[in-house]
Amino acid sequence: MVRGTMAIDEADFKSSAEWSDITKILNTGYATGMPVIRCNMSGDDFIPEAFNVFGPKIISTRKRFDDDATETRCLTFETRECVIPDRIPFQLPLTFENEARALRNKLLKWRFEHFHLILAREDEMRKLNPRTGQIGASLAAVAPDEEWREMLVTFLGHSDTDRKVESPKGYGQTGHCADSAGRVQGRYGWGYRGPHR
């Protein structure tokens, strides 16, 4: 029940092998029950071991992921450079670690006190893209009130719209062609060549 948050800064990996390992963690770690399998050497044998990678993740990149499977598993928030407020120091003070520990303890206490209040309400999530609804359902379940839920659904709806425009699986020209081909195949079979003129 109690797990940490994985933070990946500058996740623009140039090494394909390095990116492959991270992708497996991101693509399977958004839902419970899907571990990452690794083989560890024990003597002369390789022993497979399952690692639980489920949990929240914060990823910082300079652009969206090229892999649509990874991008659709993320809730993307694009930041912009601005002037740093005076209340935010350039260097962390010596009290930072103690303050962070106190904050983590308060958050953990809140989780224990509100765990029994979690209620799965997926009606609004069903109106979204299936993947968006799936990753948004957990946030909707812990929404403190209806106003927060409405803000969440609006944010997820905007994310859906952006993906439909940018993704080849969305409503772009490629998406329309793929959708039309699927409809033709379903009605006539793949041997259909269309009307001759």
Tens digit of each residue's pLDDT (9 = 90 or more) over 132-179: 888 888 888 888 888 988 899 998 888 877 666 555 554 445 555 555
CA geometry: angle 5, 11, 35, nearest 5 deg:
50
> In this predicted structure, what is the pLDDT of residue 95?
94
Residue 100 in any domain: the answer is no
Higher pLDDT, 92 or 174: 92
**Which of residues 50, 74, 98 is at a domain's end?**
74
Using a pLDDT cut of 90, give the percent of the chain over it.
13
Residue 27 in any domain: the answer is yes
Give the integer Cα–Cα distance in Å for 71 and 145: 28
Is the pTM above the cut of 0.75?
Answer: no
**Which of residues 74, 96, 124 is at a domain's end?**
74
Residue 91 in any domain: the answer is no
Q: How confident is the model at residue 91 (pLDDT cuts 50, 70, 90)?
A: very high
163-to-129, 142, 158, 160, 181 alpha-carbon distances in Å: 10, 25, 9, 5, 21
11 and 61 within one domain: yes
Residue 182 in any domain: the answer is no
Q: Give first-to-last CA distance, the chain, whole Å.
A: 65
Residue 192 in any domain: the answer is no
Contact call for residues 53 and 36 (beta carbons, < 8 A) = yes
123 and 67 within one domain: no
Which is it for strands 6-8 and 57-59: parallel, antiparallel or unpaired?
Answer: parallel
The residue segments making up the domain with residue 125 are 107-172
**Which of residues 74, 93, 126 is at a domain's end?**
74
Contact call for residues 122 and 64 (beta carbons, < 8 A) = no
> In this predicted structure, what is the pLDDT of residue 166?
55
Residue 117 in any domain: the answer is yes
Domain count, the chain: 2
Average pLDDT score, the chain: 79
What pLDDT digit, counting tens, does each position of 19-36 carry? 788 888 888 888 888 899
Decide if pLDDT at 189 tops 80. no
51 and 118 within one domain: no
Give the integer Cα–Cα distance in Å for 197 and 37: 55
> In this predicted structure, what is the pLDDT of residue 172?
47
> In this predicted structure, what is the pLDDT of residue 133?
87
Average of pLDDT values for 95-102? Answer: 95
- In this structure, which amino acid lies at residue 8? I
Average of pLDDT values for 10-18? Answer: 70
Give the integer Cα–Cα distance in Å for 133 and 125: 4
